[in-house]
Structure 1
């Protein structure tokens, strides 16, 4: 079939390809996909657009247009082999189709071609569970699909419609034009995952208690040593919260000057140990997402007796006892924030909680209260 593209079509295709080729390793996959879907959607009016990629033992389906319930329906029926990254199912017909597609090297196909391939080998597509309860139930009538396969790992992009008969004759060909960009994106995703795995293995082998915090603020990895340390620390929740606070404080004004500055250490107090906490950017050569942070701990000794007394007397947390000691020195919120390695807003929040527990309304009163025997 000859594909006729208008100047607008060409512009939309270029926009969609540019979005696919964006530095996906530097952003959360969902944020990247929202931009891709917004650029792909105009090429297929009224269609649902979805991306599927293996994540551990599950298929991760990304789609804003399809909706969460429909998206989860496909993900529940089509799983992934964690050893290979290949899609697997618990439906014989669909399994046969996947295996046949891999053997034939099919990277672009639609609903009619899918049915024809199955018919050639004696199967009826309409009897497949994944076809009926997955694709059609999720608004993927008249679907078209492109898939990237790198080694044994797979990534697919699919468009389909809520009702049959809405697709245009050239939908599959249009989607096929995005396959080179999809393959490039897939390679970048695999490289990013490999880099993350390499850093995680290095941190585990080094034996240091380190927390890796991703660009979205969520934890990406806890080193084995950190896991063991936290398991033995009653104040583990406060310790982890302090590590996240340190990461947020570093990320907030993330700038070239800050990245070049020596990492500042702050002291945090657990129930069993006193720790030095330091947040630094992850090595770019090992973790591809700029903005990924490493938060390291090192044991500096036993908790301060002063802190123990404060916690016992006023019911302070480990962090609050540290804030109380600093308030006793009459530090301003800005100075307190710098000492704790947190934002001014967080320092003010800590100050208000400590002063409430002390029953005072000023730093002078706090200092006097702290001096009481």
Structure 2
């Protein structure tokens, strides 16, 4: 028998044999098992060898012919023009889904809400709903507990009676009344003969002074004597502090009790100057203060709204008796005292208050 080697394989009668590293070779360079096979078959005639050779040659020829035909067929396919049907891209588009009727949609909704076959509610089984509800319950309980713990720590660390940190300046500020909205600010302009021009100012003063009525002050606060500080530091921190009375009647002509117009109808307007809790010119003429041009010390210190429940801030009323009419005047009231700043370039309400005053005929 004849043999040939292709890609590391030995073919004998078209049967491949792999060569191992441990195979033995004879003098002709063939494996020992192959030489033994040739010896056994050496008695066969040469006709058989020729027949095998013809078979191998025929099989190789057929294989080469098949490869040539395959290459030729690929070339024909590459150069073959596209048919008209291949250019119809409409057939490649996805077909539209058939329209569902309202009854079918309702059935789908019912199935989604409750699927009797799978025993699912809204796409989830009872076990799935239990797990997801348990997860969210645990999550929100944890968040609520964390928020509550933070709030407890915060409330435990701060005092309800005084701020822990204060970013505001310590000197007191001042304010004035009336002021009737942001549009007008602290500008007072009116005609004494025109009631509609000053009625809003009188109404604002009346509204502000109703908390200082004598009867209300007598029920809420105590009558204080002297002019010193009303110290109550010896009480417990949470104990309620008493406040001194500030009666509306002490404002005299600016109290609104004798003159409900607060002097505006006569061209002698009153304003109220108040110091927050914590100079005259020739055109202004005579200025009168009620009850006096001082803030009495007995109304201080202020202990906060939780302990000074009925506290009323003291007021100084200013009445301009001879103000020049038809002239816009710039008025500034300053608070003078030890440690008080009244000339801040950045805060016009720090220790002072400014406004314009214009009285017409």
Regarding TM over 0.5, the answer is: no
Relative to total residues, which structure has the larger strand share, 1 or 2? 1
Relative to total residues, which structure has the larger helix share, 1 or 2? 1
Which has the larger Rg? 2
Q: TM-score, normalised by structure 2?
A: 0.18
Q: TM-score, normalised by structure 1?
A: 0.17
Q: Larger relative CO (CA 8 A, sep 6+): 1 or 2?
A: 2
